């Protein structure tokens, strides 16, 4: 059994892949478990949004 919430608490998120989009810098979306805005740092590594909105 996979426990997704503790990984969110450690800033390791999993995106809702159907809603991921490219913003010109990287892929962005929302975490499927906690709903936070997330950004892909590298392949299979998503973190909470760290860039400020323009």
Asked whether residue 53 is domain-assigned, the answer is no
Range of the domain at 37: 4-48
Q: How confident is the model at residue 6 (pLDDT cuts 50, 70, 90)?
A: confident
For Cα atoms 8, 12, 17, give the angle at the middle one, nearest 5 degrees: 95
Asked whether residue 29 carries a pLDDT value surpassing 60, the answer given is yes
Asked whether residue 21 is domain-assigned, the answer is yes
Q: Residue 3's pLDDT is what?
A: 59
Asked whether residue 23 is domain-assigned, the answer is yes
User: Considering the chain, what percentage of its residues have pLDDT values greater than 70?
Assistant: 85
Mean pLDDT value of segment 18-37: 94
Residue 4 · residue 35 · CB < 8 Å: no
pTM of the model: 0.77
pLDDT tens-digit readout, 32-44: 989 999 999 999 9
Q: Could you give the number of structural domains in the chain? A: 1
Asked whether residue 54 is domain-assigned, the answer is no
Asked whether residue 24 is domain-assigned, the answer is yes
């Amino acid at each position: 059994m996979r426990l997704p919430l503790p990984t969110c608490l450690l800033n390791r998120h999993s995106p809702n892949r159907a809603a991921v989009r490219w913003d010109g810098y990287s892929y962005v979306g929302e975490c499927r478990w906690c709903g936070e805005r997330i950004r892909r740092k590298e392949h299979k590594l998503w973190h909470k949004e760290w860039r400020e909105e323009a």
